Structure 1
């Protein structure tokens, strides 16, 4: 099976990083599947199907952690943290060693995930990430993964984090989901369920609700209920299960006093958290994932359910990003490399490892293909359908990925094993297969390759929306994180309409 091996899935992160990337230059644009017209967001036109009855199409459970580092689960090599339920997904399916996030922050990646396209094609994707001052969202007429699946007959539910528009007009129910329970902003306190602006941010559909409990537990309970309801309906379903964990604030189920201490703040508490706290936050999320996997088994639908587990970007303060350097908000590998697992017992091998390079926006064409649907031809995906590679029907293929990040003037491109990187006025060329820590700058040693990649990045960037000074971009300074002692003060937040600049 090209690109996929049946090695033991519990390999080390270093071994995964050492798996060589595919050399050469590739395209990330996917060809549309044959068939009829694509689905509209309201399900008014049918998505193309491949002739399988609805009952024969897989259910989809898409689990996304928040700010989880590449090596923050045991099956990617973290030795001090047990994640038996995430590891169950790996043991039953495929573990990617070269998975990338579309962005080094949350909502930009989520834009790419839900649209299957580079986030820089949309104004919301230029927000790094969407802040409480942003009042826009995804365009109402832009196809989305849940909308396309709903048009194909799927029941669609989001439990957990949205972060693609805080106002109701840009909410999940308006962008393809039938049901929503969770929060709209970037994070909430695990106990008070208030956002960074101090306002309550827990919703059942478009109605704000007040519930008592640790957020991770509440999200897990709702997800189990959603599985049961969907199984009883007899329709194939998409369950997007987007946890807050392990995003700050650093609170375990025993840390309600910490929730009270930081009440009224922006929840970042740079004076809070420990490695033990972080491990517990991840472990609590893993336990809820186990409840969902058990529910699939109990309802007899596990064999016909695709389960994806991944993160929205690289790790944050307490994360393990080994064998990479860098973290969230940075285009170093540690800010972009993420864990990614997929199981589908009916079709995919168990306990397999794939060194096929992939990126967040690949999930839309991949999952649509599994469902017998296709992307809207008017909005072709920038990702590819990974299924033929994962099933061995097609060989692994080379890929080329591009990134921009406005804070610190960052740019990056991966082409085969080579990576172009710019941070402010500093430029680099790395072989990230041989040098995953990005230490040996090959710019002067391989000037032709450096010039080729830099020119290709410029050509690509010219096809995207230009960066906007008014867009928010997040970064960290030496005053906040000691290992960022050389980092400059980030760009100021833009003022909202009618508000004086900060």
Structure 2
């Protein structure tokens, strides 16, 4: 007999991947095997127009926690670098995790953190289970102990098929490791370990008291570079079978100078298509490795009888160029390659086999988690709950009035997405972006602005900023950006909005 005092709110499981492209798991694209995402989409809602507010790890992850745009939480670049503008996230902002913990949720966390040089998930309401790495966090020794017990060294001294940035892509003495084959078992990978510890946590919840709901967060390291994977995933995709993306035809004609500069800065200006195809094959292999781990986690929910009362969310902090536009990693280049992200949500009573075309943000998940948990959304949040899009009884959720303190008491779902970038180790600078279903406008203070017609040019190859036939579009997009900067109290609005209005 159920306890009358038991908390009946659903459990929530968030699986966040690191630098995952939207298109690799997009519907109708059979190139990459994504069984976990496909399963979530089949039983839930796939958001086709989900975007990160910023394409850099610490900033995006801080937005997810706080429900705020980066310029409103202040962590504008990566916290582990020596040029970090803000090494730690201010603790006076409400976070979704602390709000859930304060109302009875049992929170746990495994994997990558990267939100605060001196902070851990435990500073924000989570019980941290391990799985970090030395480069970003080094806040536990769990994975190192796991590998030691299995007799496998943590390092990768005998990698095969390596690709490095620099003049000689096979020379390990210079450049950054891009991709390689790891001569280890799948069970020795961090991806397997992260999934296994998640499964153990699910088992603990299943065998313990169910009077208190849980929120568990699993953050995979990947498919962020280096794309180092073991067999069978390292050779799962044949480079000869990979189709060259349309954006590979990039010439940088009429584009901001930093775009082409980044080829040399990242060390890939000498990469040809054969090399990129080899790297993409490893990236896809890394994706499928993680997808299999997501599938194991979903199987565990089934095995332990937790599926019926658990909401499952899969998203990514941002995307990855991996050869598109001939670029590597990410940077001050605001294409959909790094700003559009995968997002699937499944849960009890939600829509199934459904897709949503409304534009949404990664940090909208902060408000979504709170509404699912029956917790009031703080006025400090810039995010809006996605629950209306999950409700099977709402036919047109984008057309109904929604409530959010930042945007007024009543409003309709926005039709634009706004993004920003503030620089990384290449240097600090300011960019802003606004994107509708058809157009994208990018404000570049030190250089030429960008305007793309996404219907005519989905690969964003032709910059139309000075095209006379797009004068009205340019003015309208700039006006949208001005209004957003003013509404969200962007600190640059006093300077940038004047420039944009004068230029319109």
TM-score normalised over the length of structure 2: 0.68
Contact kept, 8 Å, 1:94 with 1:351, in 2: the verdict is yes
- How far off is 1:61 after superposition? 0.9
Residue number in structure 2 paired with 1:314: 319
Pick one of 434, 452, 464 that aligns with 1:413. Answer: 434
Residue number in structure 2 paired with 1:116: 67
Matched, 1:223 2:198: yes
Residue number in structure 2 paired with 1:480: none
Residue number in structure 2 paired with 1:454: 478
1:84-123 equivalences in 2 (<5 Å)? 84-123=35-74
Change (3 A) 1:296 1:376: same
Residue number in structure 1 paired with 2:282: 277
Q: Deviations over 1:351-409 (max 9, x none)?
A: 111111111111111121111112223x2x21211212331435323333322213475
Contact kept, 8 Å, 2:439 with 2:451, in 1: the verdict is yes
Query: SS of the residue aligned with 2:397?
Result: coil
Pick one of 458, 464, 469 that aligns with 1:436. Answer: 458
- Distance (Å, rounded) in 2 between the aligned partners of 1:411 and 1:90: 31
Pick one of 448, 454, 464 that aligns with 1:426. Answer: 448
Pick one of 289, 300, 304 that aligns with 1:299. Answer: 304
Contact kept, 8 Å, 2:359 with 2:417, in 1: the verdict is no
- Distance (Å, rounded) in 2 between the aligned partners of 1:53 and 1:439: 59
Matched, 1:464 2:416: no
- How far off is 1:162 after superposition? 0.6
Q: Which has the larger radius of gyration?
A: 2
**Structure 2 unpaired stretches of 5+:** 148-187, 233-265, 399-412, 424-428, 494-504
- Distance (Å, rounded) in 1 between the aligned partners of 2:195 and 2:143: 19
- Distance (Å, rounded) in 2 between the aligned partners of 1:131 and 1:387: 36
Q: Deviations over 1:302-349 (max 9, x none)?
A: 02211111111122325x79xx999732212222111111111x2112
Query: SS of the residue aligned with 1:120?
Result: helix
Q: Deviations over 1:122-150 (max 9, x none)?
A: 222x1156526647311122211211111
Which has the larger helix fraction? Answer: 2
Change (3 A) 1:53 1:245: farther
- How far off is 1:209 after superposition? 6.0
**Structure 1 unpaired stretches of 5+:** 1-51, 189-193, 256-267, 468-502
Change (3 A) 1:202 1:214: farther
Change (3 A) 1:250 1:61: same
Residue number in structure 1 paired with 2:341: 338
Matched, 1:382 2:322: no
Query: SS of the residue aligned with 1:72?
Result: helix
- How far off is 1:113 after superposition? 0.6
Computed over aligned residues only, the root mean square deviation of the Cα atoms, in angstroms, reads 3.2
| Higher RCO by CA contacts (8 Å cutoff, separation 6 or greater) | 1
Q: Deviations over 1:236-282 (max 9, x none)?
A: 11111110011112211359xxxxxxxxxxxx997996333222211
Contact kept, 8 Å, 1:92 with 1:343, in 2: the verdict is yes
Contact kept, 8 Å, 1:70 with 1:314, in 2: the verdict is yes
Q: Deviations over 1:28-48 (max 9, x none)?
A: xxxxxxxxxxxxxxxxxxxxx
Matched, 1:175 2:124: yes
Contact kept, 8 Å, 2:107 with 2:214, in 1: the verdict is yes
Contact kept, 8 Å, 1:66 with 1:246, in 2: the verdict is yes
Change (3 A) 1:275 1:439: closer
Contact kept, 8 Å, 2:434 with 2:441, in 1: the verdict is yes
Query: SS of the residue aligned with 1:141?
Result: coil
Change (3 A) 1:425 1:292: same
Contact kept, 8 Å, 1:93 with 1:351, in 2: the verdict is yes
Change (3 A) 1:433 1:228: farther
